[in-house]
């Protein structure tokens, strides 16, 4: 076991980990931050996306031991401290960008990164960016609308699938 220290959602955290402990396991099992979901265990679905030093990564593909001193933001760290939803979270709510909700944390984390890097993406850019996030319920239409709305764009022209 090796001690790892990092910042998660703005707070310093530490814990003993085995060399094979994945970031998603550290977050869920050790820190009890269960908003980061495990959907596939193969880095295919995107349910476990978090921000690592500002970049979106799949937490099931990162070893906790390699993240000494890292800055991690999970879905629990996206809303304001007073609970006010982020613009992306609010848009997902208002535009019904979720159904069962299992993929939603990863979608929101990916969408947040996209809008940080590209504040006014086209519908095609959004769809391309979300290629690593799988949703089995929504058909993506309302997810795309939500992301466009969060960017301040008109959503009436979003193509139905």
Per-residue pLDDT tens digits for 23-79? 999 999 999 999 999 988 788 899 999 999 999 999 999 999 999 999 999 999 999
Phi and psi torsions of 99, nearest 5°: -125, -80
Global confidence as pTM: 0.92
Superfamily grouping for domain 87-150: [2Fe-2S]-binding domain (1.10.150.120)
Write the CA distances from 15 to 5, 42, 64, 101, 122, integer angstroms: 7, 24, 10, 29, 42
Long-range CB pairs of 40-44, under 8 A, 24+ apart, other chains included: 40/134, 44/132, 44/134
Q: What does the pLDDT read at residue 33? A: 97
Q: What does the pLDDT read at residue 42? A: 84
CATH of 2-77, one of 3.10.20.30, 3.40.50.720, 3.40.50.360, 3.30.565.10: 3.10.20.30
In the chain, domain spans: 2-77, 87-150
Please, which pLDDT band fits residue 153 given cuts at 50, 70 and 90? confident
Q: What does the pLDDT read at residue 154? A: 84
Stretch 69-97: mean pLDDT, rounded?
96
Q: What does the pLDDT read at residue 159? A: 64
Per-residue pLDDT tens digits for 119-128? 999 999 999 9
């Amino acid at each position: 076991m090796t001690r790892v220290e990092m910042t998660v959602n703005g707070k310093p955290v530490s814990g003993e980990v085995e060399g094979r402990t994945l970031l998603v396991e550290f977050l869920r099992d050790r820190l009890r931050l269960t908003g980061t979901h495990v959907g596939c265990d193969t880095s295919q679905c995107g349910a476990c996306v978090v921000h690592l030093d500002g970049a979106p990564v799949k937490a099931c593909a990162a070893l906790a031991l390699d993240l000494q001193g890292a800055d991690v933001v999970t879905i629990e760290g996206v809303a304001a401290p007073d609970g006010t939803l982020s613009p992306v979270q609010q848009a997902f709510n208002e535009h019904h960008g979720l159904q069962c909700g299992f993929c939603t944390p990863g979608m929101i984390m990916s969408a947040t990164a996209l809008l940080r890097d590209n504040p006014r993406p086209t519908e095609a850019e959004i769809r391309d960016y979300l290629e690593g996030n799988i949703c089995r319920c929504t058909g993506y239409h309302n997810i795309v609308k939500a992301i466009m709305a969060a960017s301040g764009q008109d959503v009436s022209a979003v193509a139905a699938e």
